[in-house]
Chains A and B, each alone.
Chain A
Amino acid sequence: MILRTQLSALARRPARALLTGMALTIAACAVFGTALSHQVVRQVAVERLSQTPATTDLVVTATPTLDTLRKVRAVPGVAEAVGRVDGYVELERISSAYLQVNADPGSGPLAKVRLTRGRYPSAPHELAVTRRAADRLKLPVGTVVSLRLDAPDTSDPDAPRRSVRATVTGLVEAADDGLEAAYTTDAFAAQLAVVDRWRQIDVRVAPGVSLDAVRAGLAAVVDSDASDSIVTGAQARVREQKETLVDIDVVFVAMSLFVVLAVIAAALVTASTFRIVFAQRLRQLALLRAVGADRRVLARALAAEGALTGMVAGVLGVLAASALGLLVPLVLRGFGIDVPRPGFPVGTAVAVVAGTVLVTMLTVLAPAFAAARVAPLEALRTASTTAGRRGIGGVRAVVGALLAGGAVLSGAVAAASLNGSRSPGQGTMVLMLVLCSFVLAFLALIALGPVVVRPVLAVVSWPLRQRGATGRLAASGVGAAPRRAAAVSTVVALGVALIALTLVVGATTQAAADRQAASVAPEDFNVVADDGAVVPDSVIQAARARAELTAVVPYRTATVRVGASRSDVMATDLDLRQLGARGPQPEPRPASEPGQPQARPATDAPDTVGSRRVAMDQAVARAAGVRSGDSVTIMLGQRTLDVRVAVILDATPLGAGIIVSPTDLDQLGVPRGPTGLLADAARPGEQGRTAAYQALAAISPADQGLRLAVLADQRDQTREETDVLILVLLALISLTVAVAVVGVGITAALSVVERVRESGLLRAVGMSRGGLTAMLTTEAALYGVLGATLGVLLGLPYAAMSIKTFDSTVPVEIPFGQLAATVAVLTALTALAGLLPARRAARLSPMEALATDG
Chain B
Amino acid sequence: MRTESFQQVPSARSGAAVAVAAVDLVKVYGVGETAVRALDGVTVSFARARFTAIMGPSGSGKSTLMHCLAGLDQATSGQALLGGTDLTVLPDRVLTRVRRERVGFVFQSFNLLPQLTARQNITLPLDLAGRRPDPARFDDLVTALGLGDRLGHRPSELSGGQQQRVALARALVAEPDVVFADEPTGALDSRTGAEVLELLRGSVRQFGQTVVMVTHDPGAAAYADRVVVLADGRIAGEIDSPDPRSVTEALRRLAVPA
Contacts and interface: CB of A to CB of B under 8 A. Distances in A.
Nearest to A470: B128
A850 B66 CA distance: 13
A846 B130 CA distance: 21
A300 interface: no
A771 B129 CA distance: 11
Contact of A765 (B92, B100, B115): B100
Interface residues of A, number: 31
A450 to B, nearest CB: 15
Interface in B212-251: none
A473 B117 CA distance: 12
A387 interface: yes
B101 A477 contact: no
Interface in A462-494: 468-470, 472-473, 476-477, 479-480
B128 A767 contact: yes
Categorize the interface residue count of chain B: 20 to 34
Given A767-B128, A771-B128, A761 B111 contact: yes
Nearest to B67: A847
Given A765-B100, A766-B100, A767-B96, A382 B128 contact: no
A64 B105 CA distance: 96
Contacts of B70: 764
Residue among A472, A766, A771 with the most chain B CB within 10 A?
A766
Nearest to A854: B109
B142 interface: no
Contact of B127 (A387, A472, A769, A847): A472
A845 interface: yes
A473 B124 CA distance: 9
B72 A469 contact: no
Contact of A469 (B101, B111, B115, B128): B128
B211 to A, nearest CB: 17
B125 interface: yes
Contacts of A387: 114-115, 156
B44 interface: no
Interface in A432-449: none
A520 B95 CA distance: 71
Interface string B62-105: 00000100101110000000000000000011001101110001
A765 B123 CA distance: 11
Contacts, number: 80
A149 B111 CA distance: 89
Nearest to B170: A765
Nearest to B72: A847
A846 B92 CA distance: 11
B111 A766 contact: no
Nearest to A763: B96
A82 to B, nearest CB: 79
A844 to B, nearest CB: 12
Contacts of A850: 72, 107, 111
B114 A764 contact: no
Interface in B117-153: 120, 124-125, 127-130
B107 A480 contact: no
Given A767-B128, A768-B93, A480 B115 contact: yes
B194 interface: no
Nearest to B187: A382
A758 interface: yes
Contacts of A764: 70, 72, 99, 105, 111
Given A764-B99, A847-B67, A468 B127 contact: yes
Interface of A: 382-385, 387, 468-470, 472-473, 476-477, 479-480, 757-758, 761-769, 771, 845-847, 850, 854
The 5 tightest CB contacts between A and B, nearest first, are A766-B100, A480-B115, A469-B127, A476-B115, A768-B96
Given A469-B128, A768-B96, 18 more contacts: A382-B109, A387-B114, A469-B127, A480-B114, A757-B111, A762-B128, A764-B105, A764-B111, A765-B100, A765-B124, A765-B125, A766-B99, A766-B100, A767-B128, A768-B92, A769-B93, A845-B72, A845-B74
21 contacts: A383-B156, A384-B109, A385-B114, A387-B156, A469-B130, A472-B120, A472-B127, A476-B115, A758-B113, A762-B113, A764-B105, A765-B99, A765-B128, A765-B170, A766-B96, A766-B97, A766-B99, A766-B101, A766-B125, A767-B100, A771-B128
